[in-house]
Structure 1
């Protein structure tokens, strides 16, 4: 089982056995912010052990986007505010029952009563616990947010810039190609400042060269779909049959 590893100053990552999902812990001015914790109840309990060992209080949680595996929590992480973008919070409230049902089906032992209890970040900067800047877009999911910790050269990318996962479209939106193009352009504006990129699923990109290569791979995939071509993407192939269905769906939606 994975442990909590410090990948940059005051930034720790613990990877789940489920879909290589990354739980992220960030040290802020007043304490720790836990981002997208998961996945199973046992892993959340182990994450809480690791966090407690840091000896720093948890002051908040954050959800990067409104998919069930990014809306989890554990009581041992604390009864603290759990934040999201306004769009994420609104969608999570509407889809709370569905998110809990999906968590029950896929993640044994998850405290279901704590799934999807997120609220919009406060508009007052003094009340905002995040030590970085949000990059908000609608690729992959409406209300998706990356967090740029500029002082540490770290990008918390949410479900972008993965070494194992191609761009995945949100069926609630008609123009996911456009949403991805906008999001990737936003990330392109800051990628030169990034030394470490942490995706929602997959390995941490430990260098700027790797983070830049991941961004280029996502761009190439989207550009190929825009042209009507079959993407030549190393993340696809016999080693990743689980992506065949989502990829074919992306192709059909891009052509539609």
Structure 2
């Protein structure tokens, strides 16, 4: 079996070893495809690119869900298709290019950072990606990063969540926002509405395992409990923190400190 695994009609996912990072590919109607957050090592990206070519397809559009380094990677093997981001996400990617390059090189020696900030801004407030393929809705929010966006592949009822709704990572609010915990709650409300209305049957997180409708509900509930406990200064019981690596525990401590600051 190759890296790409079908998870829904016209949607494939590759799961990589670094932080259980996912790459999502949505098949278009003209032999093209949309690739979301290709990551992480050169070999991993090149394998995905080769599989796309083996299918007789080409990358015609890319999308970066948010301007953190591990969601900003690209390789020549994917071609020169435009890679979109929200207007705020694209601006932030350019502004933080130097920091993203540094973090990438410190995290994955030899990582290809040549196209780190090569993104094309969607129009301000854009709600869909214009391409020759199924309707893909852009759901912009501020929960995790400036200009963060989830994508909804409408016909397939697939929610590509970016760095949210993970079974391996706790909520990681954008602590530079004005209301980080409130922003996170607001995004969870949007996802819950998609679930309740029957528009999201499958969730693909940026890090972790793909989840079905039941799992999506479970993750929304788990994230709500986490945010509520942190906000109220209560002990947090979350399976994702059991045996967690140091960086995740540090992020949890930072969330607790953030809530304590009010």
1:50 to 1:143, Cα distance in 2 relative to 1, 3 A: same
Q: Does 1:141 align with 2:145?
A: yes
Alignment counterpart, residue 173 of structure 1, candidates 161, 177, 180: 177
Q: TM-score normalized by structure 2?
A: 0.91
Query: Secondary structure at 2:149's aligned position in 1?
Result: strand
Q: TM-score normalized by structure 1?
A: 0.93
Q: Which runs of 4+ in 1 moved over 4 A?
A: 122-127
| Distance in 2 (alpha carbons) for counterparts of 1:163 and 1:36 | 18
1:125 to 1:170, Cα distance in 2 relative to 1, 3 A: closer
> Does structure 2 retain, via aligned residues, the 8 Å contact 1:41–1:110?
yes
- Match in the other structure for 1:223: 228
Alignment counterpart, residue 254 of structure 1, candidates 247, 256, 259: 259
Q: Does 1:197 align with 2:218?
A: no
- Match in the other structure for 2:242: 237
| Distance in 2 (alpha carbons) for counterparts of 1:238 and 1:125 | 39
- Match in the other structure for 1:38: 39
- Match in the other structure for 1:117: 118
- Match in the other structure for 2:108: 107
> Does structure 2 retain, via aligned residues, the 8 Å contact 1:41–1:107?
no
Q: Does 1:188 align with 2:192?
A: yes
Displacement of 1:162: 0.3
CA RMSD of aligned residues (A): 2.0
Alignment counterpart, residue 128 of structure 1, candidates 127, 130, 147: 130
| Distance in 2 (alpha carbons) for counterparts of 1:141 and 1:59 | 26
> Does structure 2 retain, via aligned residues, the 8 Å contact 1:121–1:128?
no
> Does structure 2 retain, via aligned residues, the 8 Å contact 1:22–1:38?
yes
Please identify, of 79-88 and 119-128, the stretch whose mean Cα deviation from structure 2 is larger: 119-128
1:126 to 1:67, Cα distance in 2 relative to 1, 3 A: closer
Query: Secondary structure at 2:35's aligned position in 1?
Result: strand
Structure 2 unmatched runs, 5+:
none
Query: Secondary structure at 1:60's aligned position in 2?
Result: strand
Structure 1 unmatched runs, 5+:
none
Query: Secondary structure at 2:100's aligned position in 1?
Result: helix
Please identify, of 238-247 and 134-143, the stretch whose mean Cα deviation from structure 2 is larger: 238-247
| Distance in 2 (alpha carbons) for counterparts of 1:57 and 1:203 | 26
1:56-71 equivalences in 2 (<5 Å): 56-71=57-72
- Aligned pairs, number: 255
